[in-house]
Structure 1
Amino acid sequence: MQSVPGTPQDQDIYGFTVCFRMIAETMSQYNRPVTILTMTMSNSVIFTLRALPFKYELRVRGGGSKLFRPVVPMFVKSSLPWTSLCATWDSATGMTQMWKDGKMSVRKGMWRSQKFYGTPVVTLSGFEGQGTDIHVWDKALPFSSLRAYLKGQCYSPENLLSWRDISYTS
């Protein structure tokens, strides 16, 4: 398990984007849900990403969970052997979406008008492997920024958590 604290926030957060890269055993080998990533703020879990056989589950506090199968090809993966994952959620619309290695899911509605406050802490756990390049933004990023991140190009500067500026523990 690896926990990564971000920058303390003095304002309410009404959306977020979480992106990271990992190398792990094949997630489809598990016949039960495996938590990959959890994000907390003010000591409360606000976001969880779990792997299930051939799909992912995103859970936002207060909004339940949705299953995603990122299958719509948008561009060619360029980060081999790393798996790139991103998830977004917007409080105003309640929409959430997921991207995996250049494939996006359909958007799905979740809880609206939710807000969060505090220091984001991202914890990677539940899989055997490595995680890197973790970033968290305080809004649902537009497609162009997500595409740049997933292709390993320049992308929007993060404001809640930046892999370049963190200290972490294992």
Structure 2
Amino acid sequence: MKMKDKLLVPAVVAIILIVGFTDSGQTPAPKPIGVNLNGKMVTFSKEDGISFFCPYFSAQSTVSPNSGVSVCLRYITDYQRTESPSLFTLSPSTTPLKVDVLHMNLYNLSRDTYSSQVLKPSIRFLSSGSETDIWTGVCLTVDSSRNLVQVFSRLDMSIRKFLPYPYVWSGEPVIDFSGFDGHLTDVQVWDRPLRYSEVYSYMTLSSYWSSIGSVLTWSNISYSIRGKTLLEDSYKWFDNIVYG
């Protein structure tokens, strides 16, 4: 090989490396896209379940604490008042927050066997025009900066209560559902406590699938199924007629 040719080889390699670094900086890899579940519901039994997570989350992802968290969802179940089904567990592997339904309008929040808070939505905040909805809409808001929690269910809300121990959410965008027979739809998670007006908007019948959670949203979500769990078209109430 001639001396001139030897000098050209490193020059070409250098050009390739420069172009590669430039392209890498200008065109970052797009985030994975999840599934749009608007208009869908999940049907499962208490022996089975499903976990939802954001499409670009992995077990190796780093998460940072946030000032609060909010979860909104709609569910249907036929459990008896003597039962206490588990509704969901948020961030099960980092900062688990479990929500159980003690009866039709009483919710228990727990992080472990020593820390729990019972909330009773009994204050009317929606008009009676929403009573015909077949779904039970629930919103949980946690304000970590002020150590406050509140639950909204159907037409009613609880008072804002101080948590017995501070809860700082890790930011892990995972929510698990198991422990009850029924249907589930429109799951949304935010990395902040929702304002009253935002909860009101989610709870109204005209707002089905219109809310978009900042961490998890029903219109762009990933999921993992356990056991006999079925994804199918959702029930919705139109002019006093149930469509499925």
Both proteins in one fold, TM over 0.5: yes
Amino acid at match of 2:219: R
Q: Give the SS at the match of 2:222.
A: coil
Greater fraction of residues in helix: 2
Distance of 2:170 and 2:90 partners within structure 1: 12
Which structure 1 residue ranges, 4+ long, deviate > 6 Å from structure 2? none
Instruction: Give the TM-score normalised by the residue count of structure 1.
Output: 0.85
Amino acid at match of 2:115: G
Q: 1:79 to 1:96 in 2, by over 3 A?
A: farther
Match of 1:137 in 2: 190
- 5+ long unaligned stretches in structure 1: none
Amino acid at match of 1:83: T
Is residue 2:202 matched to residue 1:149?
yes
Is residue 2:50 matched to residue 1:2?
yes
Match of 2:108 in 1: 57
Is residue 36–residue 125 contact of structure 1 (8 Å, CA) maintained in 2?
yes
1:34-87: CA deviations, max 9, x gaps?
21111116x224211101135210125799211111110111326711110111
Is residue 212–residue 218 contact of structure 2 (8 Å, CA) maintained in 1?
no
RMSD: 2.4
Identity %: 27
Q: 1:149 to 1:63 in 2, by over 3 A?
A: farther
Q: Give the SS at the match of 1:134.
A: strand
Higher gyration radius (CA): 2
Q: 1:129 to 1:92 in 2, by over 3 A?
A: same
Instruction: Give the TM-score normalised by the residue count of structure 2.
Output: 0.61
What is the aligned length? 166
Distance of 1:63 and 1:20 partners within structure 2: 27
Greater fraction of residues in strand: 1
Match of 1:93 in 2: 146
Match of 2:4 in 1: none
- 5+ long unaligned stretches in structure 2: 1-48, 226-244
